[in-house]
Amino acid sequence: MAKKILPTGMPAGKRVFDLIATVSLILLLSPVFLVVAILLMAINGRPLFFKQKRPGHKGEIFTLYKFRTMSRSVDSNGDLLSDAERLSSFGKFLRATSIDELPELFNVLKGDMSLVGPRPLLIEYLALYTPEQDRRHDVLPGITGWAQINGRNTLSWEEKFKLDVWYVDNWSFCFDMKIFFLTFWKVIIREGISQPGSATTEYFKGSNKENN
- Per residue of the chain (212 residues), what is the pLDDT tens digit? 445 455 566 677 899 999 999 999 999 999 999 999 999 988 888 889 999 999 999 999 999 999 998 877 666 676 776 767 778 888 888 988 889 999 999 999 999 999 999 999 999 999 999 999 999 999 999 999 999 999 877 889 999 999 999 999 999 999 999 999 999 888 887 665 555 555 557 889 887 644 44
Phi, psi torsion values for 203, nearest 5 degrees? -70, 135
Residues 6+ apart with CB under 8 A from 156: 210
**CB 73 within 8 Å of CB 85:** yes
Query: What one-letter code names the amino acid at 20?
Result: I
Phi, psi torsion values for 79, nearest 5 degrees? -90, 145
Predicted pLDDT at 206: 86
Read off the pTM.
0.84
Beta bridge partners, 5, equal 11
Predicted pLDDT at 72: 72
In angstroms, rounded to a whole number, what is the distance separating the alpha carbons of residues 167 and 164?
5
Vertex 42: Cα angle to 39 and 43 (nearest 5) = 85
The residue among 154, 27, 30, 37 whose CA lies nearest residue 90 is: 37
Task: Compute CA 211 distance to the chain's CA centroid, rounded to the nearest angstrom.
Answer: 25
Where b means 16+ CB within 10 Å and e means fewer, 124-163 reads: ebeebbeeebbbbbbbbbbbbbbbbbbebbebebeebbbb
Predicted pLDDT at 118: 96
Q: Is 51 helix (H, G, I), strand (E, B) or coil?
A: strand
Predicted pLDDT at 191: 60
